Amino acid sequence: MLETFETVSKAVADPSRARILKLLECGELCVCQITTLMDLAPATISKHLSALKAAGLIQQRREGKWVYYRLAERAFNAYAQPFLRLVHSVLNDDPTVLEDRRILTLVNAVPVQVLCDQGRVALGPNVQARESTACCGGAP
């Protein structure tokens, strides 16, 4: 049991993984969307997603050549759901999380195929703007 706790707590403790979990609160995302949004290398995103999946915090599904991730809907281990509830209740006013959610609005407006082909360039100049936009039912 302690090893399972450690796996989940280490996965949540990484700032990039916490950001991914906060993004997935807004709904399912393709790897291309996450990569574009976080502006990290695909291999880095893949490593983070693998750790979150191994911890039972996220689930994946394949649709054609795309892989989509979402928060785990059922308990894969005894600690995943309590940690997901904790993450859900914190960081909602964090500047990085707020900026991620603003950019997520832009990412969701671009077809996945375009994001896979062009990456962050597909978001255009608006990715640098500082206007605030919420993605999750009007509130971050």
- Looking at residue 124, what is its pLDDT? 86
pLDDT digits (tens, 9 = 90+) for 73-92: 987 889 999 999 999 999 99
The gap from C-alpha 96 to its chain's centroid, in whole angstroms, comes to 13
Quote the mean pLDDT of the chain.
89
Instruction: Measure the CA–CA gap between 74 and 57, rounded to whole angstroms.
Output: 9
Percent of the chain scored above 90 by pLDDT?
Answer: 77
Does residue 126 register a pLDDT over 80?
no
Neighbours of 46 (CB within 10 A): 15
Nearest to 35 by CA among 110, 133, 132, 85: 110
Does residue 59 register a pLDDT over 70?
yes
Q: How confident is the model at residue 132 (pLDDT cuts 50, 70, 90)?
A: very low
- Looking at residue 136, what is its pLDDT? 58
**CATH architecture of the domain with range 2-128:** Orthogonal Bundle (1.10)
